[in-house]
Amino acid sequence: MTESWDTIADWYTDLVRADSAMHEFNREILLEHLPEDLSGQRVLDLGCGEGIITRAVAARGAVAVGIDASPRMVENAEAVGAAGVRGSVRYSVDDGCVLGTVATGSVDWVTAGLSLNNVPDLDAALGAVRRVLVARGVLVFTVPHPCFEAPHASWLRDEGGGARRVVGGYFAEGFWRSEDPGSVRRAGNHHRMISTYVGAMVGGGFEVEAVAEPAPGVRLAADQPRRAELPPFLVVRARRG
């Protein structure tokens, strides 16, 4: 059976809610590029998955809307509800390349945690994001680091007993699917170069304000020691021009 985000939704939800160090780190580095107080701010969480980032921005007081193309993922997000948040949370099934459920100029912020690498048409997704943002609204997103999470990247043990990342095919952009049954990328992933993400934003009318490659935190480094010296994610903050 060919996996999809719908077929792995329950597995993925369990993974994230079992205190996944990787997903917690991703949430932390994305939130660093948003205000601590989002009271009254309207935030759209594109590709919300089970809601880990949607709930986090609502906890800061935002009026948060999470959208995902997977109905099952949205069901799992809705099952948590809005307990413990200062703002509000709601979810909707929607295509990230269209955002048909979101009105033009209706949100102040768009977050996209590990989701733009799943959209088939990056230009369309950025166009939809620009449409729904208010003037000077901000997009903050993370993607698996394109240099180190390229298709077929693997680990090699060096002479000193440490691990080294072996990568190749960086220039070969396109859709790929992992054969690892324990990988989220068995549902598919679109590999794009860093320059493709930046170029698409500039060409799409965004002003890039920050690009970061955070080093793994203490918990992630302890959980996955071989990743301690490599950034697992790329973070970008861009403002609607």
Amino acid 162: pLDDT: 77
Two tokens, residue 100 = 């048909």
Architecture per CATH, domain 9-144+192-240, reads as 3-Layer(aba) Sandwich (3.40)
H or E element, residue 210: strand 206-212
Q: pLDDT tens for residues 131-150? A: 999 999 999 999 999 999 99
**For residue 160, is pLDDT > 80?**
no
Task: Please write the tens of the pLDDT for every residue from 88-118.
Answer: 999 999 999 999 999 999 999 999 999 999 9
Comparing CA positions, the residue from 22, 28, 65 lying closest to residue 43 is 65
Query: What mean pLDDT comes out for the span 84-90?
Result: 88
Over residues 65-81, the mean pLDDT reads 96
Task: Count CB-CB contacts under 10 A for residue 53.
Answer: 29
Residue 7 DSSP symbol: T
Quickly count: other Cβ atoms within 10 Å of residue 21's Cβ.
17
Place of tokens 């298709």: 151
pLDDT over 80 (residue 176): yes
pLDDT at 152: 84
Angle subtended by helix axes 194-203 and 122-132, to nearest 10? 40
DSSP state of 145: -
CB-facing half-sphere around the CA of 91: CA atoms within 13 A: 25
- Per-domain boundaries in the chain: 9-144+192-240
Q: Transcribe 62-109 into DSSP letters.
A: -EEEEEES-HHHHHHHHHHTTTT-SSEEEEEE--TTT-TTS-TT-EEE
Other CB atoms within 10 A of residue 192 CB? 18
pLDDT at position 3, please?
Answer: 96
| pLDDT, average across residues 175-192 | 93
Find the Cα–Cα–Cα–Cα dihedral 111, 209, 118, 64, rounded to 10°: 10
pLDDT given for residue 211 in this prediction: 98
> How much is the pTM?
0.96
Better-predicted residue by pLDDT, 160 or 49: 49
